Amino acid sequence: MIIPCIDLMGGKVVQLVQGREKALEGGTPLEMIERFAAFPQIQVIDLDAAMGKGSNDDLVALVASRAVARVGGGVRSGERARRLIEQGAFRVIVGTAAFDRPVLREIADAVGPERLIIALDSKKGKVVVKGWQEATEFTAEEVIGRLEPYCSGFLCTYVDKEGMMQGTDLNWFRRLRATTKHELTAAGGISTLEEIRELQRLGIHAALGMSIYTGRLSSDELALLNG
């Protein structure tokens, strides 16, 4: 499955390079929902909430009520996760909070592991948290097995190539595929149909941002590839 991304910052749809530099702004969230109508799911991340710099709650709720959306960014309590589901989110994505075991357990209890996706984002080989601003001491491969009981899937972003359209690290995704039978979604630098086909062959979904916003990959081609 191919999943277009809507990243929110300062009330706008944006795309960042490696989670830091804003590279472009998209249309309004409603325009993006219409543009991505042919895709079975979309991914919505509140970047301000992820970085602890405010939130875009109204826009998140709007998108979640209009599309089949997996939603993340600043989900650090069971109450927050439950509210997103009540607003219409199909599934909830948890990043930083996944590494606080009592909080993760609270979130999983609140919405159920089947509605929870854990983000394992890697930069220079290590998992990064707090909006990719802080590095941990471990790799995604080391922790993925321990997190399986709390979720039904993992969103794995190769941050080193995020937003750069230089290709992603397929070998990293192959290693991750070998460590879990849970659903995997790849993100970060995916910029060719060949990469998407290889991820599909591995049984891994592809979350796309910059490549679809810039037109490097056309929505029509991707919708066909989605089958």
Q: Which is the catalytic residue, given 46, 48, 100, 121?
A: 121
Q: What span, in angstroms and rounded, lies between the C-alpha atoms of 123 and 125?
A: 5
**Does residue 208 contact residue 189 with C-beta atoms inside 8 Å?**
no
Instruction: Give the tens place of pLDDT for each residue, 136-174.
Output: 889 999 999 999 999 999 999 998 877 556 789 999 999
CATH number of residue 73's parent domain: 3.20.20.70
Q: Which domain holds residue 170?
A: 2-225
Mean pLDDT, the chain, whole residue set: 90
CA neighbor of 185 nearest in space, from 193, 44, 176: 176
48 tagged catalytic: no
- Domains in the chain: how many in total? 1
Q: For 216, what's the count of Cα atoms within 13 Å in the CB-facing half-sphere? A: 18
Q: What span, in angstroms and rounded, lies between the C-alpha atoms of 101 and 72?
A: 18
pLDDT of residue 164: 58
**Does residue 41 contact residue 69 with C-beta atoms inside 8 Å?**
yes
Q: Which is the catalytic residue, given 7, 46, 58, 169?
A: 7
More confident residue, 188 or 163: 188
Burial environment of residue 103 by CB neighbours within 10 A (0 to 12, 13 to 18, 19 or more)? middle
Residues in contact with 27: Cβ distance below 8 Å, sequence separation at least 6, in sequence order = 13, 35
pLDDT higher than 80, residue 122? yes
Dig out the tokens for 86 from the structure: 């009540």
Q: What span, in angstroms and rounded, lies between the C-alpha atoms of 60 and 87?
A: 9
| This prediction's pTM | 0.92
46 tagged catalytic: no
